[in-house]
Amino acid sequence: RKEVEQDPGPFNVPEGATVAFNCTYSNSASQSFFWYRQDCRKEPKLLMSVYSSGNEDGRFTAQLNRASQYISLLIRDSKLSDSATYLCVVNGGTASKLTFGTGTRLQVTL
């Protein structure tokens, strides 16, 4: 089983739609969780951290479910500019180990 697993997609959604991605992780000792965004052939950039209580940033909401070992990202009112690959990143229980998922590709269309 991979340490961090994501559905590669692509998720094709119309503008204005709500879309959700999940990411599962295998190490129950994981402490930190993040979502990064990566545009085609560009560097990843931090989208948001995921806290135990969940967090929201505008149209984006991230949740953590420790019991089932997954994190989620919800995007409301999708914009064309949200088209990108979303990377799930999990700290593997040690300070120096971050594991990246392979990413979920989102394509928002008119």
Nearest CA to 83 out of 20, 4, 10 is that of 10
Nearest-approach distance from CB 110 to another protein, in angstroms: 28
Bridge partner list, 76: none
**Is 95 a residue that touches another protein (CB under 8 A)?**
yes
What's the rounded Cα separation, in Å, for the pair 9 and 82? 14
Nearest CA to 69 out of 107, 17, 109, 31 is that of 31
Contact string (CB under 8 A) for another protein, positions 20-39, x = contact:
------------x-x-x---
**Is 103 a residue that touches another protein (CB under 8 A)?**
yes
Report the greatest alpha carbon distance in the chain.
43
**Is 98 a residue that touches another protein (CB under 8 A)?**
yes
**Is 83 a residue that touches another protein (CB under 8 A)?**
no
What is the contact surface with another protein in residues (CB under 8 A)?
A: 32, 34, 36, 41-46, 49, 87, 89, 91, 95-98, 100-103
